[in-house]
Amino acid sequence: MATRLGRGAGGVGGAVEGVGSVDSFVHLHVHTEFSMLDGLARHKPLVEEAARLAMPALAITDHGNMYGAYSFWSQARKVGVKPIVGIEAYLAPVDRFHKKPVRWGTPDQRGDDVSGSGAYSHMTMWAQDAVGLRALFKLSSLASIDGYYFKPRMDRELLATHAKNIIATTGCPSGEVQTRLRLGQAEEAYKAAAEFQEIFGKDNFYLELMDHGLSIERRVRDGLLDIGKRLGIPPLATGDSHYVTKDQAKAHDALLAVQSGSQLDDPNRFKFDGDGYYIWSAEEMRGLWDNQVAGACDNTLAIAERIGSYDEVFAESSRMPLFPVPEGEDQMTWLVKETWRGMERRFRGEPLPQEYRERVEYELRIIEQMGFPAYFLVVADLCNYARSQRIRVGPGRGSATGCMVAYALGITELDPIEHKLLFERFLNPERISMPDIDLDFDERRRGDMIRYVSDKWGADRVAQIITFGTIKAKAALKDAARIMHGQPGFSIADRISKAMPPAVMGKDISLSGVYNQQDPRYNEAVEIRTLLDSDPSTRAIYDTALGLEGVIRQPGVHAAGIIISDAPLLDVIPIWARPQDGATITGFDYPTCESMGLLKMDFLGLRNLTVLDDAVDNIKANRGLDFDLDSLPLADDAAFELLARGDTLGVFQLDGGPMRALLRAMAPNKFEDIAAVLALYRPGPMAANAHIDYADRKNGRKPVVPIHPELETPLAEILDETYGLIVYQEQVMAIAQKVAGYSLGGADLLRRAMGKKKKEILDKEFVGFEKGMQDHGFSAGAIKALWDILLPFAGYAFNKSHTAGYGIVSFWTAYLKANFPAEYMAALLTSVGDDKDKMAVYLAECRRMGITVMTPDVNASDLRFTAVGEDIRFGLGAVRNVGAGVVDSLVKTRRESGPYSGWKDFINRSEISVCNKRVLESLIKAGGFDSLGHTRRGLLEVHEQSVDAAVSDKRKKEAGQDSLFDFGTAEIADLSESLLPTPGETEWDRKTKLGFEREMLGLYVSSHPLAGAERILKANSELTIAQISNEELTDGTQVVLAGMLTSVAKRITKQGKVWASATLEDLDGGIEVLFFPNTYELVADRLADELVVAVKGRVNRRDNEAAKINAQDLAILTVTDADLEKHPPIVLTMMADRVQPAMVARLQEIFKMHPGDHEIRIKLMRPHGGGTLLRITNYSVNPTTAFWSEMKTEPAVTRE
């Protein structure tokens, strides 16, 4: 459509071609969801609306950022709307470094003064072309890096430096010019407009006019037009759009209430007046403006016409940094040299087998063809640096483990040929894509690695990656309920959320899916639909939430990703500085960065690598052994026995209950079994029962059946290792190569196609596959049998390169647990930090393994858990209120001048930071001073006075007074004497002592209130509490558990019925138990803290929350003091009238044969009630299974 406008005002307008008809209009002031919690418009519907309205172009101008630039640009192009990328920038009222409120008016003009309580004004700007776009990126980035004060702010200096090819305006009512006018400062307004005109150039500066019927827009209109006239600034009509269509006004209003944390009915909340902040049609805009200010609409078309292409900025181009290589070398020649050097290192100088030589040559050739030599050098450098700094690197992750060059360079630690890993699964020469090597590091040192990258490649070329957190379904319900009903709304939202179908793989059904019959989960949403249809108030919340769902709420930072660029990122993409710590973050998300050719790497912090390092350190400290995991052969009897027993709590990726059951069934005895179990323990293979088949075939419980008799021999070398089952993607590829003549690259494409399960694609692929197999002489039956098996398994099969790489970590952890149990478990306990639930599980595992975990001790503990012989000492760092600084000081003093000989000595020698009442109270209660020979109770009574006296003296010393009175030590000693616990002071009772210990350590360590009652708990329960989560029992499973009730809390339903929640604890863990009204009525008299009970109920496991028990019944268990004894008495019951001499003789015989420490008591019952309890004084027994078996031969005697 080519037309002439010819209606421009103020010197602008004239011939405009290709940007719509004379009656058209271009929206240039448009906020999208990237104006977070202020804009509701999403890019796709936004550009579609512009296209529907036949608008030739459309701009975005988000508040202070350019995060949406790429997405908007690509969406607009798809619908044929010309994208205009801009920003509504924040401008500092003085300069960007001035970070204090500024007022231009008098105190009574506050409402009209500088926006953001004096922090900024607004300005609208657009990029005229690629140069302008880069300038806007830079301006917005520097505004964040230098000028952040409530908002990222630019200033005149920045604008003047980067104004080239930027078109700007006087801005909205919050712009500097209009603000000055409102304050009655016409000259300052004129001056500001003139300065901006000077900065951007006469042709690139416009007078922005808005009219949504607001007085603030009209009050200064005349003054603004007057300035325009005086300076020759052409007028420009804009719409300040914040949503796409008028009907979204209500949803937008809700979004603003979410932003401000207020309720919709709050008359004083921040809100927009009216519903005109949508994409007006050209007719509407022209109807408003053409008669008021001629040319104001035409100029939008004029600007659109002037906007050039941004393609150069967004186009993919290699931005991979070049690795510094010696003179005379290039990236490839150096990679070749480094690779061969690496192979030599791997083979320790032995001659390289031909197969390896060929594989390396092949891979290097592909890497060169694909142009990635620098990538390998960069990654290898990172791994080498990490090792040089003793930062543990993961042995391999993802498909990169299949790359021999990566193995040679020390990027991975697994020989791909030995483990049948394929290079093409990593880099497919038939499918060009960036290599992706994710690196695992010791999680404590991940920050060191990011610093290294930043130092090596330049801080200006490295950044972490932005993510955009959106409002998810349940959060939308919560937000909607809160803005509509305030705090009470949360419980309504909770009610609606609970009526939603359970999340699948952590993902909820979308709110729109609830009423969308096309949604795959529609049928599951009956409960929520019934609720919404029957209750208008919940429906209103749902409707509001619907408008909020999916909108961006806030920016975040990718957990692992790092971008490395060959050029300063400021020149490439928008970046921002995280206000909390100044960290540099990209303004584009990962897919955008990747599509622009930026190198992304994932640096993952893996806790288990930390555990491995700590365990190795513990071995050195405890046994003096230097231990190198990397050189450990992947075979060890003890490790495989541990795996076969399923004793894998705390073993990497093999820790869950069902996994342990699978290990027991599988009885792994070689490394390949570990890789297989990691691949098989996934929903797909498990649904096909492949995991059980593997275990059964491996152990001869089922025969190994070939896919087809014709295929038995050809596929033997591929499938024998997995007992004829297809477990790995690499096997699918190898099969296609072997029997259908595919190249490995082609086989990878086939595998990908199979995984997508699209019929038309599969039909096409089958033709080539069938032909290939026919050419290899296979029958139609064999072809069909293989295809039918391959299809589902190609989807289920897992990447062996990954499971093998991670399998090494699993093997190492199993090896350490089996061979160095105390050292490994100490490292594991340290790693779980504040997660007391996990710690309780691992402490219970220590108990099961016969490892004693000792309470912390100021004379023996370090910061972390340490191995002491076969046992473990609690770390001081795990004591509540005791920080690393205190522990460092305490340990340093102990190491420098010997162990503390007593309380007085401790107080005298400790630094002032340690002499803190809260710290000492915590250590006392945790048992940290037990070894000093005082009771905990006694020390707690005197510790405050001790600290008061000691601190006063230490301060004097610090102030130099001890140089005047150099006899201070003696004085402290004298003073401290009177502050020692009274000799003979008794300790708290067991319950109090353990209660304090738990308060400080988060769990019972020296003992447990139920210690000794194990037999009673076991006899009255089907499972331990830890097993509920470990065994992953499904929702609704009925269980009987026994333990002690704590945290019993009475609650009231909306109908006024009483119900209760409580925690049930046994020696291994705790679980929340809910007693609903009818159950409560039945058992309420038994609900009290510290009662030992058995609870019958059903497992409640929904929404990925921790499992709970919904109780159906409860019984009180009697635990006497005698039960808690180390050797509880054995009580036998018999009826007095059935006691015969022969029976007594037989009993004596059994007692004699099983001598032990358990006293025997006999309850003689009278036939008509009552009885006598007798204590046997001549014998005590050991109640082994054999003892009880023999007791069963006396039917008249029963065990109590």
Partner 1 sequence: MTDLPGEPARVTFAVDVQNLRPCHRCGGDPYLAVTIPHATMSGNRTIPLCPRCDAADSVSHGLLAFFAVHSAVAESNTNVFQELARQWVAAKLQQPGTVTDDTFQTEVDAWRAGEFD
The single-letter code of the amino acid at 1101 is R
Residue 567 is given by DSSP the state S
Q: Which residues bind partner 1 (CB under 8 A)?
A: 491-492, 494-499, 527, 531, 1019-1020, 1040, 1051, 1053-1055, 1059, 1074, 1076-1079, 1082-1088, 1093-1094, 1096, 1098, 1100, 1102, 1110, 1112-1118, 1169-1170
Comparing CB distances to partner 1, the nearer of 383 and 1094 is 1094
Could you tell me the smallest distance in angstroms from the CB atom of residue 519 to partner 1? 21
Q: Are 1013 and 1124 in contact (CB under 8 A)?
A: yes
Comparing CB distances to partner 1, the nearer of 498 and 752 is 498
Could you tell me the smallest distance in angstroms from the CB atom of residue 269 to partner 1? 27
Q: What distances in angstroms separate CA 839 from CA 642, 826, 834, 1003, one per listed residue?
A: 21, 11, 8, 8
Comparing CB distances to partner 1, the nearer of 739 and 1087 is 1087
**SS3 letters across 82-123:** EEEEEEEEEECCCCCCCCCCCCCCCHHHHHHCCHHHHCEEEE
Could you tell me the smallest distance in angstroms from the CB atom of residue 1057 to partner 1? 8
Could you tell me the smallest distance in angstroms from the CB atom of residue 1018 to partner 1? 11
Comparing CB distances to partner 1, the nearer of 182 and 1096 is 1096
The single-letter code of the amino acid at 419 is H
The single-letter code of the amino acid at 1193 is T
Q: Please choose, from the candidates 229, 298, 88, the residue with its C-alpha nearest in 3D space to the C-alpha of residue 172.
A: 88
- Return the number of other C-beta atoms located less than 10 Å from residue 197's C-beta: 21
Could you tell me the smallest distance in angstroms from the CB atom of residue 501 to partner 1? 11
The single-letter code of the amino acid at 893 is T
Comparing CB distances to partner 1, the nearer of 452 and 1059 is 1059
Comparing CB distances to partner 1, the nearer of 272 and 1076 is 1076
Q: Are 166 and 136 in contact (CB under 8 A)?
A: yes
Longest dimension (CA), the chain: 126
Comparing CB distances to partner 1, the nearer of 386 and 492 is 492
Q: Tokens 């929404």 correspond to what residue?
A: 1103
Mapping DSSP to helix (H, G, I), strand (E, B) and coil, where does residue 540 land?
helix
Could you tell me the smallest distance in angstroms from the CB atom of residue 1124 to partner 1? 17
Residues composing the chain: 1200
Comparing CB distances to partner 1, the nearer of 501 and 772 is 501
Q: Are 1041 and 1066 in contact (CB under 8 A)?
A: yes
Count Cα neighbours of 431 within 13 Å in the Cβ-side half-sphere: 18
Comparing CB distances to partner 1, the nearer of 975 and 1083 is 1083
Q: Are 1150 and 1190 in contact (CB under 8 A)?
A: yes
Q: Tokens 């603004």 correspond to what residue?
A: 224
Could you tell me the smallest distance in angstroms from the CB atom of residue 1117 to partner 1? 5
Comparing CB distances to partner 1, the nearer of 319 and 485 is 485
Count Cα neighbours of 706 within 13 Å in the Cβ-side half-sphere: 12
Q: Are 596 and 312 in contact (CB under 8 A)?
A: no
Spell out the alpha helix ranges (H) of 515-582. Answer: 526-534, 536-548
Comparing CB distances to partner 1, the nearer of 364 and 500 is 500
Q: Please choose, from the candidates 101, 283, 114, the residue with its C-alpha nearest in 3D space to the C-alpha of residue 182.
A: 114
Comparing CB distances to partner 1, the nearer of 251 and 1093 is 1093
Q: Are 412 and 400 in contact (CB under 8 A)?
A: yes
Comparing CB distances to partner 1, the nearer of 1023 and 1074 is 1074
Rounded Cα distance, 485 and 469, in Å: 24
Q: Are 419 and 804 in contact (CB under 8 A)?
A: yes
* CA 122 remoteness from chain centre: 36
Rounded Cα distance, 60 and 84, in Å: 7
Q: Please choose, from the candidates 512, 509, 543, the residue with its C-alpha nearest in 3D space to the C-alpha of residue 524.
A: 509
Could you tell me the smallest distance in angstroms from the CB atom of residue 1115 to partner 1? 3
Comparing CB distances to partner 1, the nearer of 946 and 1020 is 1020
Could you tell me the smallest distance in angstroms from the CB atom of residue 1 to partner 1? 56
Q: Which residues contact 1181 (CB under 8 A, 6 or more apart)?
A: 1130, 1151, 1154, 1155, 1156, 1158, 1160, 1187
Comparing CB distances to partner 1, the nearer of 986 and 1118 is 1118
Could you tell me the smallest distance in angstroms from the CB atom of residue 490 to partner 1? 9
Q: Are 753 and 761 in contact (CB under 8 A)?
A: yes
Could you tell me the smallest distance in angstroms from the CB atom of residue 303 to partner 1? 53
Comparing CB distances to partner 1, the nearer of 982 and 1053 is 1053
Could you tell me the smallest distance in angstroms from the CB atom of residue 1017 to partner 1? 11
Comparing CB distances to partner 1, the nearer of 497 and 916 is 497
Could you tell me the smallest distance in angstroms from the CB atom of residue 478 to partner 1? 12
Rounded Cα distance, 708 and 42, in Å: 54
Determine which helix (DSSP H) or strand (DSSP E) holds 269, and give its type and residue range: none
- Return the number of other C-beta atoms located less than 10 Å from residue 34's C-beta: 25
Rounded Cα distance, 194 and 189, in Å: 9
Could you tell me the smallest distance in angstroms from the CB atom of residue 1136 to partner 1? 14
Mapping DSSP to helix (H, G, I), strand (E, B) and coil, where does residue 1043 land?
strand
Rounded Cα distance, 840 and 112, in Å: 60
Could you tell me the smallest distance in angstroms from the CB atom of residue 297 to partner 1? 52
Rounded Cα distance, 827 and 620, in Å: 13
Could you tell me the smallest distance in angstroms from the CB atom of residue 1133 to partner 1? 12
Question: How would DSSP label each residue in 839-901?
Answer: HHHHHHHHHHHT--EEPP-TTT--SS-EEETTEEE--GGGSTT--HHHHHHHHHHHHHH----
Could you tell me the smallest distance in angstroms from the CB atom of residue 257 to partner 1? 23
